[in-house]
Structure 1
Amino acid sequence: MVQFEQDGVARRIIAAIKAQIHSGAYRPGDRLPSTRAFAAEWGASRTTVTAAYNQLDAEGYLIIRQGARAIVAPGLEKASGEAPVAAASPRNLSAFAQRLLAMPPPAQQQPAKVADFRYGDLSGADFPVLAWRRASNKAILRRVARLRYGDPQGSSVLRSALQAYLWRARGIGCTPDQIVIVNGSQQGLDLCARLLLDPGEPFVIENPGYLLARHAFVAAGGVAVPIAVDTDGLRTDELPPARLAYVTPSHQFPLGGVLSATRRRALLGWATASGAYIVEDDYDGEYRHDIAPIPPLQTLDPDSVIYVGTLSKTLSPTLRLGYLVVPASLCRAFSEAKRLTDRHAPMLEQDALADLLASGVYERHVRSIRRKNADRREVLLRALADHLGSRVSVAGAETGLHVVAWMNGIAAEREPEIIAAARAAGIGLYPVSPLYDQSESRPETAGFILGYAGLDTEALRRGVAALAAVLAKHR
């Protein structure tokens, strides 16, 4: 008991669950996530989560029965006598806010000392500091007669430059009026959710898939319809009626499949027949390591597809710059929604990016980091082969900035303990299992997403060697 009382992670889990109950996000009779799912979300061990659940059971917050998921105890819709977690409990929360609070909190982890394989990070050394500084200085020194709010869809100069770039690089034909500049692709997904879904309406999403996209659509009130994926991407043989489908056809996240030509036609046919829109997230389409990048789905049917692009995988996720290419019929709706959300994206960053695009610097930068990340990929794959050999199966290596490593012979239920051991060894490790829908079956083999764009080659070698040592102790 003394050891548990000193476990800061367990205390934070207990406090977080109590806060969810006090806020009404978890109500009497609601089932909590399984200990395995909760442990994977928090990056904690299953033992720690089980201890936290047992403590909450002892305090009367939960009811735990053998073989069943824990549920919130009755009577907690009123004050329980427990001191409030926050200074004041929220009142009159909207359904949107309650849906947000019902979602599992993100895992909070300190940066790993040896190698952090978190996907989405880029190397700071790759950022074009001098070019960005020159473009930013030029934008700052450009005097205008009046400082005023801009077009909610974004700078006309940037949208024109993006139109030309998208035609050259991705084969997308559109007008500048169809482009909406957003604060990162996540805002683009949020706008799609708010404009295309009403509460209770179904949306199709890949299983496994991008968790923050799912959260954006669920927060808007949508009902997720998970559809399995394989090496050819989303399975399109039994698509149900829905208002929209969210897909990553050029590089399925996280497993890495590319949507086949046959399935692309089938998905577009489904959209036409059901009157649905397709939200195409081309989050890392610039990175194809064997052949030319796969053309976007949008090029086949611009009237049915909303194309989501980002600068987070080529420049930096800290810039919060992304863009949408929307069908002409949706331009006004997206413009007005963007106006109400935040007026427009920051103009200084837009002007700097427009300068990089117009001068050709951006495309030279993309070619440069494509080569660097191809080198990192080769180092990672070689290290996995050398240290793990047939004990690991790698998926999704042909494109993008991450791979999925399936640990042959290790059960998926052991992921939390491996993550904890890896963290102790200075390795940041992230499981695939939380990206699967909880109501559907999950893989039986442990799998981890290994992002490599934020690491140098030596860190990749050290990281895989340390990971192999950890796995050797857990087989």
Structure 2
Amino acid sequence: MTKLLALPVKMPEGWLAENIQFRRISVVQLQQDGGVARRIIAAIKQQIHGGGYRPGDRLPSTRAFAAEWGASRTTVTAAYGQLAAEGYLIVRHGARAIVAPGLEMPSSVEAPAAAAQPRNVSAFARRLLALPAPAEQQPARVADFRYGDLSGADFPVLAWRRASNKAILRRGARLRYGDPRGSAVLRNALQGYLWRARGISCTPDRIVVVNGSQQGLDLCARLLLDPGDSFAIENPGYLLARNAFVAAGGCAVPVPVDGDGLRTDALPPARLAYVTPSHQFPIGGVLSATRRRSLLAWAKATGAYIVEDDYDGEYRHDISPIPPLQTLDADAVIYVGTLSKTLSPTLRLGYLVVPASLARAFPEAKRLTDRHAPMLEQDVLADLLASGAYERHVRSIRRKNAERRAVLLQALTDHLGAGVTVAGADTGLHVVAWMNGIDSAGEPAIMADARAAGIGLYPVSPLYDPTEPRPETAGFIMGYAGLDAEALRRGVAVLADILAKHR
């Protein structure tokens, strides 16, 4: 076991008297029920030695710990008292015990060796473990341009709370599992909303409510691909969609994109094609009418399905809404929608509109995964849709994000001028900023300098297929929906200073 550093520490005022009292309790109780108390003491020490509890961390209350261990509260109090007497904890009357300062893990301790490879796992698990690890999120004190974040101030707190209260009071006499497709009330409300907002005409039995669009993509992968099957995917494109299809055993065939979206003339034979036609991720092009017809003709000729990810279809700035592909061929297209870009990514609410031929397969696959999405959130969303509160909210945040977009574009012009080329600004909640005159090989150094300066910056390069050439010019995805105007201006100003050093 790792030895702890013996460091001199200054204890809070009153610590000595309180710990003497705990010590008295500990001695008596340890004599009466030493076995359980000693096991609790050993377990907490192990957590501290292993870094599970760090200096300043609060331990559970004695009541909560006793309930968890099935011990008496007096026994837990005795264990805490003994740990306090040994200098592991600081205890105060009426407050939760905290780990004492000076118990940091020594820096000389070697990091644990890489975990051994698991035995007897499936081919799915091996494919999953072979995928690149996700990048760690870095704190950004000035501005974080991470795409997908929304402003917490934009969440409709009052409307959500009112609808939540109504949903809770409406609870039935019995609590039971629901329909894996989602509640009938929500699917009926979504049917009307999709017709009004996106022109989609469907019946409620073809709507499947999922835990965010990512679960929808996973269901598509498992239901449409066998190991070894090819799938077409935009290059660059959404990495987690690619990973979901690869984990299911699919073989990625990258298809290039340009200002008009997917290059349909380069489509290969495949079982499915994943596309973002309303706002290509990340470059931002809108799939042209000619290419839409070509893509649908390809699907008909090959028998493939098209997975249409309409991840931010509610946001149109300088152009009119683009009708989804699903409206042109409901039998070939699986439509994927999400609430993560309008309400919150933390809610994990999304939906699929599936062809009639797949209306049974998808809910049955979801039933095996998690039975159904959380019912309370479904009831709340259904109320927001039925009352019109959701669409009022969407109109409000569309205006707010249009204002943020204008601030970002103006700041890029003011600080970088001809040094930046912006793509994908007509729709969605992000732009791609190509840094003219800066080689893409310099992206890691720019990102490191940005982190040091308090800027969260995210390159386009990792979204390209690893087997295909990457762009020569440095490019960054800049999300703006989670930032206020001042943070956007400050962030771009700091970024401009960093880029000046790399030109």
- The two structures have a TM-score, normalised by structure 2, of 0.77
Do the aligned partners of 2:127 and 2:247 also contact (CA within 8 Å) in 1? yes
1:241 matched to 2:241: no
Distance, in Å, in 2 between the alignment partners of 1:457 and 1:331 is: 45
- The residue type paired with residue 460 of structure 2 is V
Equivalent position of 2:118 in the other structure: 90
Equivalent position of 2:221 in the other structure: 193
- The residue type paired with residue 134 of structure 1 is R
**Cα–Cα, structure 1 residues 473 and 93, in superposed 2: closer, same or farther, change >3 Å?**
same
Deviations along 1:332-382, one digit per CA (max 9) or x if unpaired, are 000100100000000000000000000000000000000000000000000
Q: How far 1:86 moved relative to its partner?
A: 5.9
Equivalent position of 2:293 in the other structure: 265
Q: How far 1:89 moved relative to its partner?
A: 4.4
Note the residue ranges of structure 2 that are not aligned, 5 or more in a row: 1-109
Distance, in Å, in 2 between the alignment partners of 1:336 and 1:241 is: 28
Alignment counterpart, residue 388 of structure 1, candidates 406, 409, 416:
416
Equivalent position of 2:278 in the other structure: 250
Alignment counterpart, residue 217 of structure 1, candidates 245, 249, 254:
245
Equivalent position of 1:411 in the other structure: 439
Equivalent position of 1:127 in the other structure: 155
Alignment counterpart, residue 346 of structure 1, candidates 352, 374, 382:
374
Equivalent position of 2:174 in the other structure: 146
Deviations along 1:17-59, one digit per CA (max 9) or x if unpaired, are xxxxxxxxxxxxxxxxxxxxxxxxxxxxxxxxxxxxxxxxxxx
- The residue type paired with residue 416 of structure 1 is P
Deviations along 1:267-302, one digit per CA (max 9) or x if unpaired, are 000000000000000000100001321110100000
| DSSP-derived class of the 2:290 partner | helix
Equivalent position of 1:400 in the other structure: 428
Percent pairwise identity = 85
Distance, in Å, in 1 between the alignment partners of 2:298 and 2:116 is: 48
1:284 matched to 2:317: no
Distance, in Å, in 2 between the alignment partners of 1:87 and 1:418 is: 32
Q: Detail structure 1 runs of 4+ shifted over 4 Å in the superposition.
A: 86-89
| DSSP-derived class of the 2:447 partner | helix
Distance, in Å, in 1 between the alignment partners of 2:241 and 2:289 is: 24
Deviations along 1:363-418, one digit per CA (max 9) or x if unpaired, are 00000000000000000000000000000000000000000000000000000000
**Would you say how many aligned residue pairs link Structure 1 and Structure 2?**
394
**Cα–Cα, structure 1 residues 367 and 83, in superposed 2: closer, same or farther, change >3 Å?**
closer
| DSSP-derived class of the 2:403 partner | helix
Distance, in Å, in 2 between the alignment partners of 1:198 and 1:88 is: 29
Deviations along 1:317-346, one digit per CA (max 9) or x if unpaired, are 000000000001101000100100000000
Distance, in Å, in 1 between the alignment partners of 2:115 and 2:393 is: 49
**Cα–Cα, structure 1 residues 88 and 438, in superposed 2: closer, same or farther, change >3 Å?**
closer
1:295 matched to 2:323: yes
Do the aligned partners of 2:143 and 2:491 also contact (CA within 8 Å) in 1? yes
Note the residue ranges of structure 1 that are not aligned, 5 or more in a row: 1-81
Q: How far 1:110 moved relative to its partner?
A: 2.5
Alignment counterpart, residue 389 of structure 2, candidates 346, 361, 366:
361
Distance, in Å, in 2 between the alignment partners of 1:97 and 1:456 is: 41
- The residue type paired with residue 171 of structure 1 is G
Q: How far 1:143 moved relative to its partner?
A: 3.0
Q: Structure 1 residues 300-309 or 91-100, which shifts more?
A: 91-100
Greater CA radius of gyration, 1 or 2?
Answer: 2
Distance, in Å, in 2 between the alignment partners of 1:136 and 1:440 is: 48
Equivalent position of 2:260 in the other structure: 232
Distance, in Å, in 2 between the alignment partners of 1:111 and 1:356 is: 34
Deviations along 1:58-98, one digit per CA (max 9) or x if unpaired, are xxxxxxxxxxxxxxxxxxxxxxxx99736764211111111
| DSSP-derived class of the 1:473 partner | helix
Distance, in Å, in 1 between the alignment partners of 2:339 and 2:196 is: 16
Q: How far 1:240 moved relative to its partner?
A: 1.2
- The residue type paired with residue 486 of structure 2 is E
1:430 matched to 2:475: no
Distance, in Å, in 1 between the alignment partners of 2:208 and 2:113 is: 41
Q: How far 1:111 moved relative to its partner?
A: 1.9
Deviations along 1:243-278, one digit per CA (max 9) or x if unpaired, are 000000000000000000000000000000000000
| DSSP-derived class of the 2:266 partner | coil
Alignment counterpart, residue 359 of structure 2, candidates 316, 325, 331:
331
Q: How far 1:471 moved relative to its partner?
A: 0.4
Q: Structure 1 residues 392-401 or 139-148, which shifts more?
A: 139-148
1:183 matched to 2:211: yes
- The residue type paired with residue 393 of structure 1 is T
Distance, in Å, in 2 between the alignment partners of 1:390 and 1:471 is: 13
Q: CA RMSD in A?
A: 1.2
1:461 matched to 2:489: yes
Q: How far 1:109 moved relative to its partner?
A: 2.7
- The residue type paired with residue 390 of structure 2 is Y
Distance, in Å, in 2 between the alignment partners of 1:153 and 1:210 is: 25
Do the aligned partners of 2:256 and 2:266 also contact (CA within 8 Å) in 1? no
- The residue type paired with residue 280 of structure 1 is E
**Cα–Cα, structure 1 residues 330 and 134, in superposed 2: closer, same or farther, change >3 Å?**
same
Alignment counterpart, residue 314 of structure 1, candidates 328, 338, 342:
342
Do the aligned partners of 2:284 and 2:427 also contact (CA within 8 Å) in 1? yes
- The residue type paired with residue 166 of structure 2 is K
Equivalent position of 2:98 in the other structure: none
Distance, in Å, in 2 between the alignment partners of 1:411 and 1:93 is: 42
**Cα–Cα, structure 1 residues 143 and 267, in superposed 2: closer, same or farther, change >3 Å?**
same
| DSSP-derived class of the 1:357 partner | helix
Q: How far 1:104 moved relative to its partner?
A: 1.0
Equivalent position of 1:31 in the other structure: none
| DSSP-derived class of the 2:437 partner | strand
- The residue type paired with residue 497 of structure 2 is A
Q: Which structure 2 residues correspond to residues 13-162 of structure 1 after superposition, within 5 A?
A: 85=113, 89-162=117-190
- The two structures have a TM-score, normalised by structure 1, of 0.82
- The residue type paired with residue 292 of structure 2 is R
Deviations along 1:189-214, one digit per CA (max 9) or x if unpaired, are 00000000000000000000000000
| DSSP-derived class of the 2:329 partner | coil
- The residue type paired with residue 494 of structure 2 is A
